[in-house]
């Protein structure tokens, strides 16, 4: 009966996030590791909104950014509205890019569990999230050099000159727009080749979960050059081995902008929390970058200090800018 408790969020996704209209073709994509209760809540809300709803279940792809099977990609391309309720993000895949190029609107709730459908980030005032995101995106739009430091020793500098700041505030009401829920990011693709520095003991790595062993990632001229540490370092090195040079690309920088998000150990929610920041390695095309890779991995910091062209925007995980 937990579906009932998800009704409010499911309805919010249809009515507010996606503005689903009667007769629209809605594809809910899920996989065999996700709770069917969430799928049911979404499908019910989709039918209530009058959408012609199709549920597609696949095997988990294993990692964010990995292309879904051709069968799923074909269904996505024929849909007007897509909800990704799988285990992994498809934001940085050709399948999703082809669908949005044809005008599909996408809501990404990958990795969301039953609790996250009821509490936390999804309950935010998304108008407020949008306002905060727009202010920070504008700072990216106007800024050039971004400098991230953390108490753990991270110290990374890169340029965002000429790169657009994307507002990810949960809305995907226009053709080709995509949203992740819970949402709240001001994000961009740093200029390729400009990032230099080191990431030390980040809080979490996408697909590798909350970090436990020491980890040090060295970055030179926009690429990861060295990864040292324990379990996470070993796994990351294996992934980078497979992904090749494009996987080493510093692909994303983002501010979290959602005040309602909690720290849950689930990247989906944590990385949207206001005051946090993340960078990603791998594919950057969906954020206006030029690198295509089979992977896109977020690396997240809980208490960053972020300066843009010398001005402090976030200090130890708290927004200093009055928004």
Partner 1 sequence: MKITNMAFAANMVVNQILEIQKGETVLIITDTDRPRIITEALAYSAVSAGGDVTVAIMRPQLVGGAEPTSPIAAAMAASQVIINQATYSIVHTDATRTALANGARCANLRNFTEEMMVNGGVTADYYQVKRVSDNLASMLTAADKIRLTTPEGTDLTVYTKGRAAIAQTGFATKPGEFSGLPDGESTLAPLEGRSEGVVVNPYIADLIGLMTEPFRMEISKGRIVKVEGGKQADALVKHLANNDANGYNAAGQFALGTNPACRIMPNTREVSKKLGTAHIAIGDNVSLGGTSNSSFHIDFVFLKPSVYLDDVCILKDGEYLVDLGG
Using the rule CB under 8 A, is 100 a contact of partner 1? no
Cα distances (Å, whole numbers) of residue 10 to 92, 117, 160, 234, 303: 24, 8, 36, 39, 31
Q: Which is nearer to partner 1, 45 or 224 (CB)?
A: 45
Q: Where are the alpha helices (DSSP H) in 60-144?
A: 70-77, 94-101, 126-142
Query: Could you say which of 75, 135, 195, 227 contacts partner 1 (CB under 8 A)?
Result: 75
Using the rule CB under 8 A, is 98 a contact of partner 1? no
Using the rule CB under 8 A, is 55 a contact of partner 1? yes
**Residues contacting residue 230 through CB under 8 Å, at least 6 positions apart:** 212, 213, 214, 215
Phi, psi (5° rounding) for residue 67?
-60, 135
Using the rule CB under 8 A, is 48 a contact of partner 1? no
Residue 292 CB, shortest distance to partner 1, in Å, is 22
Using the rule CB under 8 A, is 22 a contact of partner 1? no
Using the rule CB under 8 A, is 74 a contact of partner 1? yes
Stretch that binds partner 1, among 74-82, 190-198, 233-241, 255-263 (CB under 8 A): 74-82
Query: CB-hemisphere CA count at 13 Å for 271?
Result: 28
State the DSSP H helix or E strand holding residue 81, giving kind and residue range, or none if neither. strand 81-85
Q: Which is nearer to partner 1, 84 or 249 (CB)?
A: 84
Using the rule CB under 8 A, is 25 a contact of partner 1? yes
Query: Could you say which of 27, 188, 195, 313 contacts partner 1 (CB under 8 A)?
Result: 27
Distance CA 269, CA 122 (A): 9
Q: Which is nearer to partner 1, 52 or 134 (CB)?
A: 52
Using the rule CB under 8 A, is 54 a contact of partner 1? yes
Using the rule CB under 8 A, is 56 a contact of partner 1? yes
Using the rule CB under 8 A, is 277 a contact of partner 1? no
Q: Where are the alpha helices (DSSP H) in 78-125?
A: 94-101
Stretch that binds partner 1, among 5-13, 69-77, 110-118, 127-135 (CB under 8 A): 69-77
Stretch that binds partner 1, among 66-74, 171-179, 228-236, 298-306 (CB under 8 A): 66-74
Stretch that binds partner 1, among 3-11, 48-56, 226-234, 307-315 (CB under 8 A): 48-56
Using the rule CB under 8 A, is 21 a contact of partner 1? no
Residue among 116, 276, 100, 118 at smallest CA distance from 184: 276
Q: Which is nearer to partner 1, 24 or 232 (CB)?
A: 24
Distance CA 19, CA 252 (A): 28
Query: CB-hemisphere CA count at 13 Å for 296?
Result: 24
Q: Which is nearer to partner 1, 25 or 285 (CB)?
A: 25
Using the rule CB under 8 A, is 59 a contact of partner 1? yes
Residue 104 CB, shortest distance to partner 1, in Å, is 10
Distance CA 302, CA 270 (A): 8
Distance CA 306, CA 323 (A): 16
Distance CA 37, CA 41 (A): 6
Name the burial class of residue 213, with classes exposed (0-12), middle (13-18) and buried (19+) by CB atoms within 10 angstroms of its CB. Answer: exposed
Stretch that binds partner 1, among 75-83, 125-133, 260-268, 309-317 (CB under 8 A): 75-83
Q: Which residues bind partner 1 (CB under 8 A)?
A: 25, 27, 43, 47, 52-59, 69-79
């Amino acid at each position: 009966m937990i579906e009932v408790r998800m009704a409010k969020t499911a309805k919010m996704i249809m009515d507010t996030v996606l503005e689903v209209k009667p007769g629209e073709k809605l594809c809910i994509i899920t996989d065999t590791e996700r709770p069917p209760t969430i799928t049911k809540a979404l499908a019910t809300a989709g039918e209530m909104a009058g959408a012609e709803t199709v549920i597609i279940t696949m095997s988990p792809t294993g990692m964010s950014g990995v292309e879904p099977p051709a069968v799923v990609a074909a269904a996505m391309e024929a849909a007007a509205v897509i909800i990704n309720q799988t285990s992994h993000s498809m934001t940085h895949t050709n399948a999703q890019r082809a669908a949005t190029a044809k005008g599909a609107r996408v809501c990404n709730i990958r990795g969301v569990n039953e609790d996250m459908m009821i509490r936390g980030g999804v309950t935010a005032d998304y108008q407020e999230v949008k306002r905060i995101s727009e202010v920070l995106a504008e700072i990216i739009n106007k800024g050039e050099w971004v400098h991230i430091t953390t108490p753990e020793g991270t110290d990374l500098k890169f340029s965002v000159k000429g790169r657009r700041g994307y507002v990810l505030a949960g809305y995907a009401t226009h053709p080709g727009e995509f949203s992740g829920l819970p949402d709240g990011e001001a994000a961009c693709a740093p200029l390729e080749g400009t990032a230099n520095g080191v990431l030390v003991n980040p809080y979490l790595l996408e697909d590798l979960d909350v970090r436990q062993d020491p980890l040090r990632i060295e970055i030179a001229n926009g690429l990861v050059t060295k990864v040292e540490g324990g379990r996470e370092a070993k796994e990351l090195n294996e992934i980078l081995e497979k992904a090749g040079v494009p996987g080493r690309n510093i692909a994303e920088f983002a501010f979290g902008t959602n005040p309602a998000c909690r720290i849950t150990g689930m990247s989906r929610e944590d990385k949207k929390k206001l005051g946090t920041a993340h960078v990603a390695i791998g594919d950057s095309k969906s954020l206006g970058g030029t690198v295509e890779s089979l992977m896109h991995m977020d690396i997240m910091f809980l208490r960053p200090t972020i300066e843009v062209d010398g001005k402090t925007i976030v200090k130890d995980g708290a927004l200093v800018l009055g928004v």
